[in-house]
Amino acid sequence: MDRAEVDAKIRELAEPFNKKGIEIKEETTFQNDLEFDSLTVMDFVAEIEDEFDIIISMNQQAEIENYGQLVDAVHKLQADS
Amino acid sequence: MSEGILQPDKPEALEGDNRDLFSKFDDVIALREGLLAQGREDPFNLVMEKVLSPTRAICNGRETILLGTYNYMGMTFDPDVVEAGKQALSDFGSGTTGSRVLNGTYQGHKECEEALREFYGMDHAMVFSTGYQANLGIISTIAGKGDYIVLDIDSHASIWDGCAMGQAEVVPFKHNDIEAMEKRLRRIPEGAGKLVVLEGVYSMLGDIAPLKEMVAIAKKYGAMVLVDEAHSMGFIGENGRGVVEDAGVIDDVDFIIGTFSKSVGTVGGFCVSNHPKFEIMRLVCRPYVFTASLPPSVVATAATSIRKLMHGSNKRAHLWENSRALHKGLRDLGFKLGTEEAQSAIIAVIMPDLEKGAHMWEALIRGGLYVNLARPPATPANMTLLRCSLCAEHSEEEVGQILEIFEKAGRETGII
> pLDDT of B42-96, one tens digit each?
878 889 999 999 999 999 899 999 999 999 999 999 999 999 999 999 999 999 9
Question: Using an 8 Å Cβ cutoff, are B112 and B306 in contact?
Answer: yes
Tell me the residue ranges of DSSP E strands in B174-311. Answer: 194-199, 201-202, 207-208, 224-228, 255-259, 269-273
> Residue B1: which of A42, A53, A59 has the nearest Cβ?
A59
Q: Are strands B194-199 and B224-228 parallel, antiparallel or unpaired?
A: parallel
Percent of chain B with pLDDT over 90: 88
| pLDDT tens by residue, B186-208 | 999 999 999 999 999 999 999 99
Rounded distance between C-alpha atoms, residue B330 and residue B338, angstroms: 11
Q: Is 0.85 exceeded by the ipTM?
A: yes
Whole-number Å distance between alpha carbons of B75 and B370: 19
Does residue B204 sit in the same domain as residue B298? yes
Q: Which residues of chain A does B1 touch, with a Cβ-Cβ cutoff of 8 Å?
A: 59, 62-63
Looking at the annotation, which residues of A are catalytic? 37
What is the rounded CA–CA span in Å between residue B230 and residue B209? 13
- pLDDT, residue A38, reads 83
**Are B235 and B143 in the same domain?**
yes
Task: Check CB contact under 8 Å for B183 and A49.
Answer: yes
Within 8 A by CB and 6+ apart from B88, the residues are B108, B296, B297, B299, B300, B301
B85 and B55 in a common domain = no
Q: What is the chain A residue with the closest CA to B145?
A: A59
Chain A residues near residue B183 by CB distance under 8 angstroms:
49-50
Phi-psi region of A49 (alpha: psi -120 to 50; beta: other; left: phi over 0): alpha
Interchain pair B174, A42: CB under 8 A: yes
Show residues of chain B in contact with A39, CB under 8 Å: 381-382
Q: Is the pLDDT of residue B253 over 50?
A: yes
Which residue of A42, A54, A59 is in closest CB contact with B170?
A: A59
Q: How many CB atoms lie within 10 A of CB B410?
A: 19
Same domain, B125 and B257: yes
Composition of chain B by helix, strand, coil, percent to 5: 40, 20, 40
Confirm whether B32 is domain-assigned: no
Nearest CA in chain B to A64: B1
Backbone angles phi, psi at B153, to 5 degrees: -65, -25
CB contact at 8 A, B199 and B157: no
- pTM higher than the cut 0.90: yes
Q: 3-state class of B17 per DSSP?
A: coil
Cβ contact B130:B162 at 8 Å: no
Q: Find the CATH number of the domain harbouring B52.
A: 3.90.1150.10
What domain count does chain B have? Answer: 2
**B85 membership: H or E segment, kind and range:** helix B79-92
| Number of residues written out for chain B | 416
In A, minimum Cα distance to B148 occurs at A57
Given B309, B326, B355, the domain boundary residue is B309
| Cα dist from A7 to A11, A14, A25, B181, B338, whole Å | 6, 10, 11, 26, 39
**Same domain (yes/no): B141, B263:** yes
Question: Which residues does chain B have within 8 Å of residue A53's beta carbon, measured at their own beta carbons?
Answer: 187
Of B156, B161, B345, B321, whose CA–CA distance to B236 is shortest? B345
Give the DSSP H or E segment for B57.
strand B56-59
Q: What is the pLDDT of residues B389-399, one digit of tens each?
A: 999 999 999 99
Q: What percent of chain B has pLDDT over 70?
A: 96
Q: Say whether both B205 and B92 belong to one domain.
A: yes
Task: Say which CATH superfamily domain A3-80 falls into.
Answer: ACP-like (1.10.1200.10)
Instruction: Check residue B5 and give its pLDDT.
Output: 47
Of residues B151, B125, B127, B124, the one with CA closest to residue B139: B151
Residues in chain A, total: 81
Of all residues in chain B, the one with the smallest CA distance to A78 is: B187
Cβ atoms of B326 and B389 closer than 8 Å: no
Range of the domain at B50: 39-73+313-412
Minimal Cα–Cα distance from A59 to chain B, Å?
A: 6
B50 pairs with which residues across the strands? B58
Q: Of B256, B279, B309, which one is at a domain's C-terminal end?
A: B309
DSSP symbol at B216: H
> What are the structural domain ranges in chain A?
3-80
Q: If you average pLDDT over every residue of chain B, what do you get?
A: 94
Nearest-CB residue to A55 (from B167, B188, B382): B188
Instruction: Evaluate whether residue B31 is within a structural domain.
Output: no
Model pLDDT for residues A27-55, shown as the tens digit of each residue: 999 989 999 988 899 999 999 999 999 99
**One domain for residues B205 and B323:** no
Chain-centroid distance of CA B107 in Å reads 27
B239 is a domain residue: yes
Specify which residues B196 forms β-bridges with: B150, B225
Q: Do B1 and A63 touch (CB under 8 A)?
A: yes
Q: Which residues of B touch A38 (CB under 8 A)?
A: 377
| Per-residue confidence band for B13, with pLDDT thresholds at 50, 70 and 90 | low
- Residue B377 has a pLDDT of 78
A50: closest CA among B187, B371, B213? B187
Burial of B357 from C-beta contacts in 10 A (0-12 / 13-18 / 19+):
buried
Angle at B131 between CA B129 and CA B133, to 5 degrees: 65
Residue ending a domain, choose from B252, B285, B309: B309
Distance CA(A3)–CA(A9), nearest Å, equals 10
| Interatomic CA distance for residues B318 and B324, integer angstroms | 10
B99 neighbors B283 (Cβ within 8 angstroms): no
Of B2, B148, B180, the CB nearest to A46: B180
